[in-house]
Amino acid sequence: MLELKNIRKTFRKGKESVYAVNDVSLNIQAGEILGLVGESGCGKSTLSRIIMQLLLPDSGSVHLNGTNLSALPLSAIRHHRLDFQMVFQDPYASLNPRLTIFSTLGEALQQRHPQLKGDELRQRVGTLLEMVGLSSRLMQRYPHEFSGGQRQRIAIARALAPEPRIIIADEPVSALDVSIQSQILNLLRHLQKDLGLTMLFISHDLSVVRYLADRIVVMYRGKIVESGDAEEVFDHPKEAYTRQLLAAVPKLPSVVGPV
């Protein structure tokens, strides 16, 4: 569905140029959750911006369903941007505090369907809210009236609104409490099943990625060092770097008897 071919991107820092992404190729199948793992500065966020068409790669190409997006003129790219939606780490920062939930979600729906208005729009916003586990009665409220977990649900609803082909989730649960985190992870997994959602899930937390993703790609210093089936990579890492990353994850012991 989405294919990246030999993406390279350098940034200049004074006289030096630094490879942020160095010859990365990967593909995401329809209905798949691909986990992208790596530490800060490994190039994951640059890569997601290139997919979003917010940054142009120095070389290489991004293909969506066979169309080479990198070859399209800017005006056409803008149209394709609807096909990619993002969910960010901080739901406090990513929702406009001065818009009601109805306005935020309504606007996102109208991007794809400009003719939606009135009752029909209200109904569609209600459906979206219920899809992410919130009551449709809450649509006239403002972001500050919701908890962090509820706000992340709203951010997910907004990402779903323009019917994207792919959702890029950049550390969507890292800022949440454990109990809320598990609610959001369940939601994402159910959405994948029910809607056939395709997702690039970026995280530094390997235990979360192991649980959610179908496949894992490990990035280090701008390069992909290992990729494969999520549990395979987690249980039998081949690369030294992956092993090091796994060793750094704090572990819970198994409790004796039922919890």
Partner 1 sequence: MSTLLDIQDLKIHFHTRDGVVKAVDGVSLKVEQGEIAGIVGESGSGKSVTAYSLLGLIPMPPGKIEGGRALFQGTDLLRLSEREINQFRGRKISMIFQDPMTSLNPYLRVSTQLTEPLAIHERLHGKPALHRAIEALEQVGIENAEKRIHSYPHEFSGGMRQRVMIAMALITKPDLLIADEPTTALDVTVQKQVLDVIRNLQKETGTAVIFITHDLAVVHEMCDSVNVLYAGRLIESAPTAELFHKPLHAYTRGLYKSNPGTHRKGEDLYSIPGLPPDLSRLPAGCSFRARNTLGDASLCLTDRQPELIEIQAGHFVQNCPGCLARHEAAVVS
**Closest distance of CB 157 from partner 1, Å:** 18
Identify the DSSP state of 197.
-
**Closest distance of CB 125 from partner 1, Å:** 23
Q: What single letter denotes the amino acid at residue 1?
A: M
Q: Tell which residue, 110, 106, 102, 97, has the closest CA to residue 139.
A: 102
* Complex with partner 1: residue 120 or 235, whichever CB lies closer: 235
Give contact residues for partner 1 (rule: CB under 8 A). Answer: 39-41, 147-149, 177-183, 185-186, 189, 204-208, 210-212, 230-231, 244-245, 247-259
* Complex with partner 1: residue 120 or 232, whichever CB lies closer: 232
**Closest distance of CB 53 from partner 1, Å:** 26
**Closest distance of CB 231 from partner 1, Å:** 6
Strand runs labelled E in 15-83 = 16-28, 33-37, 59-64, 67-68
**Closest distance of CB 243 from partner 1, Å:** 12
Alpha-carbon distance values, 200 to 74, 83, 107, 140 (Å):
24, 13, 24, 31
Name the one residue in this structure whose structure tokens are 């993406």: 7
* Complex with partner 1: residue 106 or 143, whichever CB lies closer: 143
* Complex with partner 1: residue 217 or 230, whichever CB lies closer: 230
C-alpha–C-alpha distance, residues 77 and 119, integer Å: 32
Tokens for 46? 């640059």
* Complex with partner 1: residue 75 or 179, whichever CB lies closer: 179
Look at residue 13 and give its three-state secondary structure: strand
